[in-house]
Structure formats: structure tokens, C-alpha cells
Amino acid sequence: MSYASPPPAYPVRVPRPPGPSGLGVVALAAAVAGVVIGSVAVYAGAQGFADIGGLVDEAGDIPDESVGAFLSVFLRAFGWLGAGFALWGLLATWGLVQGIVAIVLHRGRGAGIAALVVAVLGFFVVMAFFAIGMTAGLGSLAPDAVDAAVA
């Protein structure tokens, strides 16, 4: 006499076949674009702050005739910084979320994992470009500071 086995208590999960990899590739492209565009804009904004130093006199004050130029330079540099961080944040978040979706749905899993890594580690790249831009901008002011101290 043979007995039939009882049906499983829970549905058996059949692995989903991998789909087209476009989802992961778009996520990776968004994350990389965010890091590249954000880094360039943040570098430009950070270096733009060096122009402010050229408007300051020997006493460290801003002459009355330079106030308009100071505000113009400051707002332009601040705008580049704000745009750079905002674009990086938006595109990196898009790449991060879409990368997770691509991993879960098996639609470009490798590119989705790469998008995750680029989106998370991109913060350090953008901040490095910020630091390099500030250093380059402040370094361009050093000869003026040395000349003022010697004179």
C-alpha cells in the first residue's frame, strides 16, 4: 500500500529567471553621473571661494567698493556648491534605490551591486573634490598673503 505525501504547508518558491539587465545599468549610470557631476560642481564652487580672498584688503576687511563684487563671487561659489551637492544627492539616491530594485528583481544584478557601491562610496569622492578645491583655492591666495606679510 502506498501513501501519498501531503502537500507542502507553504508554497514552494521557484527562483525567478534573470531578466534584461537594463535596470541595473541605468542605476549604475545614474550613480556614476551623480558622482562625476557632483564632484566637478563642488570643485568649482570650492575653488570659487578663493576669489573672495582677492577682494579682502590687508586688514582683512572688505572695502566698500568691493561689497557688490564680494556678494557676486560668494553667491556664485555657494550656488556651485549647492548645485553640486544637490545633484550628487539626487542622482546617488536614484542609483541606490534603483540598484536595490535591480538586485531584488534579478535585472542587472551585477550592475545593481556596482550602483550601490558607487552611490555609497561616492560621498567620499565628492568630499575629496571639495577638499581639493578648497586647498587649491586657498593655495592660490598664499603668495598674496606672503607678499602682504613681507611688506
Q: What is the pLDDT of residue 14?
A: 75
CB 62 within 8 A of CB 149: no
* Domain edges within the chain: 22-150
Q: Which three cell numbers stand for residue 39?
A: 564632484
Nearest to 92 by CA among 42, 147, 141, 29: 29
Which one is predicted more confidently, 4 or 45? 45
CB contact set of 79 (below 8 Å; sequence gap of 6+) = 45
Residues 7-24 have pLDDT tens digits of: 767 777 777 777 788 999
Rounded Cα distance between 12 and 36, Å, is 44
Instruction: Report which residue type is found at 20.
Output: P
Q: For residue 123, which phi and psi values (nearest 5 degrees)?
A: -55, -45
pTM of the model: 0.75
